[in-house]
A and B are shown apart, each in its own frame.
Chain A
């Protein structure tokens, strides 16, 4: 079973609005990552946040991590139509080798 659970499953917004996606996980982690996938394509790494970090920024992306609640959020500010994609959180298994456990993903649609 997947460790990460994301909500919402789908999100529809207008260009210029902010988009927030949430992710919860079940076991302790070393790090949590967010990936983006355009329809039927490969995944693209967005950001990695380590278990001892609480917040991280990259351009229009802001990720938070709350290890006490086993949850993370991804905020995309000033969304663009090109941000339309599915977004996945992924956690690593402690002691694992590049074994990522992915959430079900959030489908984001940004309308012009």
Chain B
């Protein structure tokens, strides 16, 4: 079974630009969540989607957004990039149910964003 696939793996942007990151979950997984990892703040939850609906959102500004498609693939977008947005962005999928709860997450290798 293929794992979680994230693209692109590496990208460099300049301040003020926007970026879109993509995540393909494991087949059959309907929940996709996103995390940001930085040396200073560690791993922080961005948002979670289930069946195209955002069910949970972390404490990030509105510049960070996401969506999920009918095939469970997900994208996240960061607009008006700032230097502090440089991070490893990790996507995770799970067999979460509609009733909620948290189980084992399967992570992708991440997209490393550098903002210059």
**Chain A residues packing against B (C-beta within 8 Å):** 2, 30-31, 33, 35, 40-45, 48, 88, 90, 92-93, 95-105
Taking Cβ atoms with an 8 Å cutoff, the residues of B that contact A are 4, 31, 33, 35, 42-45, 48, 50, 55-56, 58, 88, 90, 92, 94, 96, 100-110, 112
| B90: chain A residues within 8 A (beta carbon) | 42-43
Name the prevailing secondary structure of the B interface residues. strand
What is the minimal beta-carbon distance from B86 to any residue of chain A, in angstroms?
Answer: 13
Seed contacts A43-B90, A98-B31, A99-B56; 8 additional CB < 8 Å A-B pairs: A2-B44, A30-B101, A33-B105, A43-B92, A43-B107, A97-B102, A98-B56, A100-B43
Hey, which chain B residues are within 8 Å of A98, CB to CB?
A: 31, 33, 48, 56, 92, 94, 96, 102-103, 105
Chain B residues within 8 Å of A95, by CB:
100
Expressed in whole angstroms, the minimum distance between the Cβ of B8 and any Cβ of chain A is 15
* CB within 8 Å for A100 and B101 given contacts A42-B110, A43-B90, A88-B43: no
Nearest CB in chain B: distance from A20 CB, A: 21
Q: Given the complex, which residues of B lie within 8 Å of A96, measured CB to CB?
A: 56, 100, 102
Q: Show 6 A/B contacts (Cβ-Cβ < 8 Å), sorted by A.
A: A2-B42, A97-B48, A98-B48, A98-B92, A100-B105, A102-B42
* CA distance in complex: A48, B101 (Å): 13
Q: Which residues of A contact B109 (CB under 8 A)?
A: 41-42
Contact A40 B102 (CB under 8 A): no
**Assuming A97-B31, A99-B58, is B102 touching A31 (CB within 8 A)?**
yes
